[in-house]
């Protein structure tokens, strides 16, 4: 994986991040989702390098091989604001004062927070298979509660860790054939590590609390994303079925927005990397 890219550990203050990076040209930060690692981008990153971009693929704090932060009140150590701060420090440490960011799933929420909190740094935003937390919560109905029950289960204390760690491979189903053998090995190591599982759950606990509050503050202040924004969603996932056109939802958060579906299941970077890389490169160019 990631042939020709550097594989490093970078101290960003509170935590140390594992990051693969390389290429030449405008910088693109690629942020994975739950329960993946930066390895999810291993078929997308080389395509972007070939198209003239520098790519940066970290494991978020608490995920993969990045270190975990001590648990704080309100789970704020795993807030999207804290994770975005890590990634801003990472990009600056690698010499990128300005950069585009693309985030998938939970990574889309981190990418949004980066664009809102650090507009001078983020030149373009791509949100993949995600909408703001408050937009989900304002649309909760019986189907959402049934299909996305994990949002509310993961927010409970202790029991989710016990359930997942009793049989991580059954809880997080994936295959080496689907992901690629090296990415799958990283994934399995992460979901079998109790500290990593706890940190990934803390992501959801922060989501329903402090992250929600941050978004509510943004909306009350009229704060929006200033840069051009691309929204992509998987055609064989349920985001559009649940909530309707994601572009329409994002328009309240990012006035300069466009988007479309990608033919894929939820993990589009692994299932259709060619179309995803093509869409990202076209937008970023």
Return the active site residues. 105, 266
CA neighbor of 172 nearest in space, from 160, 193, 187, 152? 187
Give the DSSP letter of residue 175: -
Torsion sign, CA atoms 264, 275, 59, 135: negative
In degrees and rounded to multiples of 5, residue 103 shows phi and psi of: -130, 140
Q: What is the dihedral of CA 104, 106, 108, 109, to 10 degrees?
A: 180
Residues in the chain: 285
Give, for 211, the enclosing helix (H) or strand (E).
none
* Measured distance CA(48)–CA(69) in Å, rounded: 31
Q: Using CB atoms within 10 Å of the CB of residue 117, give its burial: 0 to 12 exposed, 13 to 18 middle, 19+ buried.
A: middle
């Amino acid at each position: 994986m990631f042939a020709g890219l550097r594989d490093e550990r970078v101290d960003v203050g509170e935590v140390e991040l594992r990051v693969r990076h390389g290429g030449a040209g405008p910088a693109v930060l690629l942020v994975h989702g739950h329960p993946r690692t930066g390895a999810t981008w291993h078929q997308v990153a080389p395509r972007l390098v070939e198209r003239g971009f520098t790519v940066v693929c970290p494991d978020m704090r608490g995920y993969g091989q990045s270190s975990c932060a001590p648990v704080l009140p309100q789970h704020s150590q795993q807030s999207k604001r804290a994770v975005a701060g890590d990634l801003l420090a990472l990009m600056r440490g690698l010499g990128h004062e300005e950069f585009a960011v693309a985030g998938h799933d939970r990574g889309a929420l981190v990418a949004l927070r980066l664009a809102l909190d650090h507009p001078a740094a983020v030149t373009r935003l791509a949100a993949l298979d995600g909408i703001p937390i408050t937009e989900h919560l304002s649309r909760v109905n019986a189907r959402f509660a049934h299909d996305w029950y994990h949002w509310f289960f993961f927010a409970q204390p202790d029991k989710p860790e016990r359930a997942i760690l009793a049989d991580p491979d059954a809880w997080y189903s994936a295959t080496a054939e689907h992901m690629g053998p090296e990415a799958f090995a990283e994934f399995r190591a992460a979901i079998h590590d109790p500290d990593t599982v706890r940190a990934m759950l803390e992501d959801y606990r922060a989501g329903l609390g402090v992250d929600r509050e941050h978004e509510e503050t943004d909306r009350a202040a009229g704060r929006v994303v200033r840069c051009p924004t691309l929204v992509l969603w998987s055609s064989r996932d349920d985001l559009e079925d649940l909530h309707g056109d994601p572009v329409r939802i994002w328009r309240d958060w990012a006035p300069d927005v466009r988007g479309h579906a990608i033919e894929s299941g939820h993990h589009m970077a692994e299932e259709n990397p060619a179309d995803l890389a093509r869409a990202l490169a076209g937008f970023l160019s």
